[in-house]
């Protein structure tokens, strides 16, 4: 599935374990483990390149500045705006391929006869939350990192999202859901983008292969008159069918249908042929 309507973002070329991207007027070169084929040219020699993320021997890395560029800047997708800033571990604060899911969920929200009440777990900087709020939904945005929740607030503000469109929660996602169950809180839709591995504030260990299905089934308890249930994954080796199976088992008896798919982005350079870069996968149950 290809994200639609990007004008401020593109993948120019990929190969040799790297991808050359344009974020507005800024050009970045970042590692990408999926790009195992040969690059069409020396990506590091691209004349407009601003910065390259270089990995270090200890597993981390750093940004190598080549041409000056702003510390942070804004790009747009349709009527949504997002702050972009090169951060640690090669991140920029946005995953453009997710615009495919923003589009699908936004259409469901717009066509709903009542305002959708959506729970966004592991919400990161809020691309989905902002897009859903702009489509008329009310979103509870949950992430354990305060900095990411604050960035969601900024993205919502510069996008002109409704002031009553997003509720911001800094919390461990599983603990928050357990409290919502006790409170009898219900939602019409769920989306989650869980990490491959992580530790909670009290030392809890999260490993997606061991913990995801338990969380997916737990969250089912807060769904009422469900419209959709979306799971994203960037974990290498976790196939779309695995996500589809989890959603099928979890939503058994609720009717609807479940689909699973790769999220891809087109590559502008076609000197080696027309190719796309895989960028993770998603599974979605819809009524």
Asked if residue 203 and residue 222 are part of one domain, the reply reads yes
- Taking the C-alpha atoms of residue 246 and residue 260, their distance in angstroms, rounded to an integer, is 11
pLDDT class of 88 with cuts at 50, 70, 90: confident
Q: Could you tell me the two tokens for 150?
A: 């604050």
The residue among 25, 55, 90 that closes a domain is 90
pLDDT in tens, 48-71: 999 999 998 777 899 999 999 999
Chain segment 230-258, per-residue pLDDT in tens = 999 988 778 999 999 999 999 999 999 99
Average pLDDT over residues 111-135: 98
**Cα torsion angle, 232, 234, 238, 239, sign:** positive
SS3 state of residue 259? strand
> The domain spanning residue 173 has which CATH number?
3.40.50.150
133 shares its domain with 240: yes
248 shares its domain with 108: yes
Element (H, E) at 175: helix 173-183
pTM check: above 0.75: yes
Other beta carbons within 10 Å of 268: 12
Tell whether 166 and 227 lie within a shared domain.
yes
Check whether residue 171 and residue 140 sit in a common domain: yes
Q: Are residues 148 and 258 in the same domain?
A: yes
21/158 same-domain check: no
Note whether residue 3 is domain-resident. Answer: no
Are residue 129 and residue 267 in the same domain, yes or no?
yes
Question: Whole-angstrom Cα distance, residue 124 to residue 24?
Answer: 21
Domain containing residue 203: 96-286
Give strand pairing partners of 187: 223
Please state the rounded mean pLDDT for residues 130-155: 97
Q: How many domains does the chain have?
A: 2
Same domain, 117 and 247: yes
Same domain, 273 and 156: yes
Regarding whether 262 and 239 lie in a shared domain, the answer is yes
Element (H, E) at 9: strand 9-15
- Identify the band that residue 206 occupies on the pLDDT scale cut at 50, 70 and 90: low
| 1 lies in some domain | no
């Amino acid at each position: 599935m290809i994200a639609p309507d990007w004008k401020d973002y593109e993948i120019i070329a990929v190969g040799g374990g790297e991808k050359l991207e344009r974020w507005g007027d800024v050009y970045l070169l970042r590692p990408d483990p999926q790009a195992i084929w040969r690059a069409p040219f020396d990506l590091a020699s691209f004349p407009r390149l601003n910065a390259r993320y270089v990995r270090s021997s200890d597993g981390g890395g750093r940004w190598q500045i080549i041409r000056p560029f702003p510390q942070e800047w804004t790009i747009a997708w349709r009527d949504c705006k997002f702050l972009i800033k090169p951060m640690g571990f090669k991140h920029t604060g946005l995953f453009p391929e997710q615009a495919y899911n923003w589009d699908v969920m936004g259409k469901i929200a717009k066509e709903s006869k009542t305002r959708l009440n959506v729970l966004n777990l592991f919400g990161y900087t809020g691309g989905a939350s902002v897009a859903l709020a702009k489509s008329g939904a009310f979103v509870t945005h949950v992430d354990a990192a305060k900095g990411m929740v604050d960035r969601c607030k900024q993205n919502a503000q510069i996008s002109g999202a409704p002031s009553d469109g997003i509720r911001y929660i800094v919390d461990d996602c599983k603990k928050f859901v357990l409290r919502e169950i006790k409170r009898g809180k219900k939602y019409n839709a769920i989306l989650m983008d869980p990490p491959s591995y992580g530790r909670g504030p009290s030392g809890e260990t999260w490993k997606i292969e061991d913990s995801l299905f338990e969380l997916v089934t737990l969250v089912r308890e807060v769904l009422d008159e469900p419209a959709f249930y979306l799971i994203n994954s960037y974990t290498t080796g976790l196939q779309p069918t695995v996500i589809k199976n989890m959603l099928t088992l979890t939503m058994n008896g609720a009717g609807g249908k479940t689909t699973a798919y790769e999220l891809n982005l087109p590559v502008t350079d076609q000197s080696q042929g027309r190719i796309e870069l895989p960028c993770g996968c998603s599974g979605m149950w819809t009524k």
